[in-house]
Structure 1
Amino acid sequence: MSETYYKAINWNAIEDIIDKSTWEKLTEQFWLDTRIPLSNDLDDWRKLSAEEKELVGYVFGGLTLLDTLQSENGMDELKKDVRTSHEEAVLNNIQFMESVHAKSYSSIFSTLNTKAEIDNIFEWTNTNPYLQKKAERINEIYKNGTPLEKKIASVFLETFLFYSGFYTPLYYLGNNKLANVAEIIKLIIRDESVHGTYIGYKFQLGFNELPEEEQASLKDWMYDLLYELYENEEKYTEQLYDGIGWTEEVKTFLRYNANKALMNLGQDPLFPDGASDVNPIVMNGISTGTSNHDFFSQVGNGYLLGSVEAMQEDDYLIGMD
């Protein structure tokens, strides 16, 4: 018998059951932006002020940048340090969905904005100093960090840094506006909650293998990074939201989700903010079920997928038991 040059992946010999359960969850909740009737939000869109419209464009531009970073660089870097072949398959799925997320924002733009407005959004996104700083900081860790540092950066991006942008559509959804735009965001949040918990779980496996001294050093690095990112995120939030008066509410939401990121990594929360401190309108937006239960039906019975589920606290803890 000749020597093995390349090994086939065997899904009947699972090394880590979390790989299999995460793959199944991600494939069960697969979706595409083209199935959501964004044009139904045009009446709501026309009623927003010019300042509100600009805010929506800018937050989605920022989210596009971060999803682009995850799909083009982040997952490639994480795949260099997988523990199992099944983990690489899960990361391939995550990488594809990050591309779907990035494209979804362009679908929103093409529905709501003119070409000139879209050009302005991307010009703002590609030159905003706070956006560029967080993209650069995360990407430098992807390029130069240790395998565990890369996982920390990824979880902070997915479970924390996205949420300054998610706040806006969730606020409108809680006020019964832009329901289909917000539905895309809820689908993205549902994905990101799985991504963050899965990568956080893989981090914990490696972290628990470290000697205590190395654990302590890495924890110091982790919390220092979070402080650094939060300080930049405060400035980004002020720039976006000062004009509309939501800044402090958004910062509370950020701190709440920073704690979620730390929990995904198996660490203690840093901030005192809990779910009860977040604007209840926004929390209501997260927990509201889909208004389009059958939006997948148009592509036939072979494409029967689950509807958008209400986000629950334990969605952040998938597989962590």
Structure 2
Amino acid sequence: MTSFNEHPYIAINWNDIEDMIDKLTWEKLTEQFWLDTRIPLSNDLDTWRTLTNIEKDMIGKVFGGLTLLDTLQSQDGIQSLKAAIRTQHEEAVYNNIQFMESVHAKSYSSIFSTLNTPKEIDKIFAWTRENEYIQHKANRIHDIYETGSDLEKKVASVFLESFLFYSGFYAPLWYLGNGKMPNVAEIIKLIIRDESVHGTYIGYKFQIAYNQLPSQEQEDIKNWAFNLLFELYENETKYTEFIYDDLGWTEDVKVFLRYNANKALQNLGFDPLFPDTADDVDPIVMNGISTGTSNHDFFSQVGNGYLLGEVEAMSDDDYSKWD
């Protein structure tokens, strides 16, 4: 019989931290904890009834696509990253991220159950299985999770968290900026706040491993990442045209995509690819992307500050100070 002393099981010790970013990120994510059940989505029904059928169809497709991507991230993405953890605390952070990605996916079902009939919901989920553009990006990222290197998996995860979600985020942020669907948008703001931390944290872990590579290997993975981004952007522009052309929003959404693609590259420590900056994005949407808490009364409408106080997403400076 093997002695336990030969192969002791190691308890995680949060009083002995190897990488302080693990501790800071754990604290940030737990401070930000939320559930969709606390957001009064039914308060948006009056606005929903005033929207055109084209708008309702767009919103259903947008949230269906987001549900698919959050499902991918919760079921496959974060699990694939655990193979390369550096510390037990890093795995604990990944566990938190994985759970919250499941919360995100479930939140869209709460929106559907409030706004849509069962038949409409079935149609939305059938669409996610059949649309070539949403399936292409999901399967492309999934393939990397299955067969890519540890660094390639982190690149794919950051591109998903910091870039691919944002074609879907545009619509609810636009409606929020125009005084419509505030509670639906509240959920999106909560998700954005989480994804901000997820993308920055995973990008930080990428940079640690990347900086230890020989220069030629660094160049190889960098070229691979930019080629992947080009491929995903090309597909994302087609997806955006499919979703938004009928509303005339497509070109504005593409600016938003390019801006967030640059943010994804920044999370990986790379220079931006596109000339677009925050100043080029529709200011109504940029205002909506602010992650501060809403001033909702606790006993009527519960905003994203509902037991949390004011919690801001982690900024780049929070991480760079620990480099």
TM-score surpassing 0.5? Answer: yes
Counterpart pick for 1:16 among 7, 13, 19: 19
Is 1:222 the equivalent of 2:217?
A: no
1:208 aligned residue: 211
Aligned residue among 233, 236, 241 for 2:244: 241
The CA distance in 2 between the partners of 1:259 and 1:174, in whole Å, is 23
**Partner residue in 2 for 1:320:** 320
Matched, 1:287 2:294: no
Distance 2:299 2:291 in 1: 19
- Aligned-residue offset at 1:2: 2.2
Q: State the identity as a percent.
A: 73
User: If the length of structure 1 is used for normalisation, what is the TM-score?
Assistant: 0.94
Query: Unpaired runs of 5+ in structure 2?
Result: none
| Cα distance change of structure 1 residues 210 and 305 upon mapping to structure 2, 3 Å threshold | same
Match of 2:70 among 67, 71, 74: 67
State the distance in 1 between where 2:137 and 2:320 align.
28
Structure 1 unaligned runs (5+)? none
1:36 is matched with 39
Q: Residue type of the partner of 1:85? A: Q
Describe the SS at the equivalent of 1:165: helix
Cα RMSD of the aligned pairs, angstroms, is: 1.8
SS of the aligned residue for 1:319 comes to helix
Q: Tell whether the 8 Å contact from 1:289 to 1:308 is kept in structure 2 after alignment.
A: yes
Q: Distance in 1 between matches of 2:207 and 2:23?
A: 18
Structure-1 separation of matches of 2:298 and 2:49: 24
Output aligned runs, 1:91-170, within 5 Å: 91-170=94-173
Give, in whole Å, the separation in 1 of the partners of 2:35 and 2:224.
37
Q: CA deviation digits over 1:150-171, x for unaligned, max 9?
A: 0000000000000000000000
- Give the Cα–Cα distance (whole angstroms) in 2 for the partners of residues 130 and 212 of structure 1: 35
Over 3 Å counting, the alpha-carbon distance change for 1:317 and 1:47 in structure 2 is farther
Contact residue 81 and residue 153 of structure 2 kept, 8 A: yes
Partner in structure 1 of residue 10 of structure 2:
7
C-alpha separation in 2, matches of 1:135 and 1:55: 19
The letter for the 2-side match of 1:124 is W
State the partner residue of 2:271.
268
CA distance in structure 1 between the partners assigned to 2:120 and 2:311 by the alignment: 30
Could you say which residue in structure 2 is the equivalent of 1:174? Answer: 177
CA contact (8 A) 2:193 2:291 kept: no
> Which letter maps to 2:37?
T
Per-residue CA distance 1:268-320 (angstroms, 9 max, x = gap): 00000000000111012113744454549999xxx8323565x6xx7355423
Contact 1:173 1:285 in 2 (8 A): yes
**Is this contact kept in 2: 1:29–1:306, CA < 8 A?**
no
Paired residues of 2:189 and 2:290 also in contact (CA < 8 A): no
CA distance in 2, matches of 1:208, 1:295: 46
Q: Deviations over 1:77-112 (max 9, x none)?
A: 001110111000000000000000000000000000
TM-score when normalising by structure 2: 0.94
Q: For 1:277, which of 265, 275, 280 is the aligned residue?
A: 280
CA distance in 2, matches of 1:45, 1:317: 39
User: What is the identity, as a one-letter code, of the residue corresponding to 1:7?
Assistant: I
**1:22 aligned counterpart, secondary structure:** helix
How many residue pairs end up in the alignment? 315
Displacement of 1:180 after TM fit?
0.3
